[in-house]
Structure 1
């Protein structure tokens, strides 16, 4: 089983959108019995909160299921549970490493490093541009799935 965790600051915009997109890709590829997907935030501001309405709206627009998404905070045990921990921006990556220390060293990756795009996924909580975030996450998630299939499956 391959465990994938998407991480952003608050776990209400980017990381739950990525979780939903990636889960949908995994299901369409028939890999849901081989890949588990989750998301978390480095802050605890939105624990147990649903995703931002902008995230839910864009997922609905593209018919991506969003059931079961709820905010949670990254915790030290995540380093042992997840094989891939995917940050949305450089600040997330630094916070992930600070919070998790140097355990068994899962793959900690900034998502857009897998693409030819800018390196940080802009936070739509501040930009208001959920479409841009969706487009960038869609490409990044496709590339991540290719990487996991090459390395693990």
Structure 2
């Protein structure tokens, strides 16, 4: 099974949105038995909480389930358990680098790196900006391209 972990700061806005969208795309592709998806935050402020109400609202508007998604903090073992760790911004990547130990084999990258026409590779944090719809659109397109990347890389 291929495993994908989405990471942001608090795990209530961007990464749970990416988890829900990617889970939806994986289901539509009939790959639920082949790809496992989760999300986590680099911080611990919201552990156990459901996604932010703004994230819930935009996901509901787009008929995407966020059932069962609860905030958790990323940890060192995630680098051994996940094949792909996809961060929302440069700071998340930097924080991930400080958490990992040894030489894990997980692919670590930024979600917006899958959008070649976007110059700023940082997904804006709607917790601060309120732009949940803009963030949804960026994540949705990036997740489509990420799924293509994973399918090609893993021959599925």
TM-score of the superposition, structure 2-length normalised? 0.96
Structure 1 runs of 4+ with >4 Å offset: none
Distance 1:102 1:85 in 2: 16
Q: Match of 1:132?
A: 134
Q: Deviations over 1:39-63 (max 9, x none)?
A: 0000011100011000000000000
Q: Match of 1:10?
A: 10
1:74 aligns with 2:70: no
Distance 1:127 1:102 in 2: 36
Distance 1:103 1:7 in 2: 19
Where in structure 2 are there 5+ consecutive unaligned residues? none
Q: Match of 2:31?
A: 31
RMSD: 0.7
Q: Secondary structure at the match of 2:30?
A: coil
Query: Which of 111, 136, 146 is the matching residue for 2:148?
Result: 146
Distance 1:11 1:102 in 2: 25
Distance 1:74 1:92 in 2: 11
Where in structure 1 are there 5+ consecutive unaligned residues? none
TM-score of the superposition, structure 1-length normalised? 0.98
Q: Could you tell me how far 1:31 is from its partner in structure 2?
A: 0.1
1:110 aligns with 2:115: no
